[in-house]
Amino acid sequence: MQTRPLSERRFFQQFLSDFYGMRRALWGRRADAWQPPTDVYETDRHIVVKMSIPGVKPGQIRVHCNGEVITITGVREGPDPAEVRSYHQMEIRNGYFERSIAIHEPFDPREAHAQYVDGFLYVSIPKAPESVRHVVSIRLGV
Q: How far apart are the first and last CA of the chain?
A: 46
- Pair (76, 7) in one structural domain: no
Pair (17, 83) in one structural domain:
no
Q: How many angstroms separate the CA atoms of 121 and 109, rounded? A: 16
pLDDT (tens digit per residue) in 52-82:
999 999 999 999 988 889 999 999 999 988 8
What pLDDT does 108 receive? 86
**What's the pLDDT at 75?**
95
- Dump the DSSP string for 92-136: S--EEEEEEEE--S-B-GGG-EEEEETTEEEEEEEB-SS----EE
Segments forming the whole domain that contains residue 24: 1-31
> Does one domain contain both 56 and 119?
yes
* Domain containing residue 63: CATH number: 2.60.40.790
Q: In terms of domains, do 99 and 42 share one?
A: yes
Considering the domain architecture, whether residues 93 and 107 belong to the same structural domain is answered as yes
- Does residue 23 carry a pLDDT above 50? no
Do 92 and 134 share a domain, yes or no? yes
Is 122 in the same domain as 135? yes
Residue 35 in this model has a pLDDT that exceeds 60: yes
- CB under 8 Å to 12, separation ≥6 — which residues? 4
User: What are the tens digits of pLDDT across the range 95-124?
Assistant: 999 999 999 888 888 889 999 999 999 999
d(CA 75, CA 93): 10
Query: How many separate domains does the chain show?
Result: 2
Q: Please check whether residues 46 and 115 belong to one and the same domain.
A: yes
pTM of the predicted model over 0.85: no
25 and 56 belong to one structural domain: no
51 and 23 in a common domain = no
> Could you tell me if 91 and 72 lie in one domain?
yes
| Pairwise CA distance, residues 52 & 29, whole Å | 20
Residue 26 has a pLDDT of: 46
Q: What pLDDT is attached to residue 140?
A: 75
Confidence of residue 25 (pLDDT cuts 50, 70, 90): very low
**Is 59 in the same domain as 97?**
yes
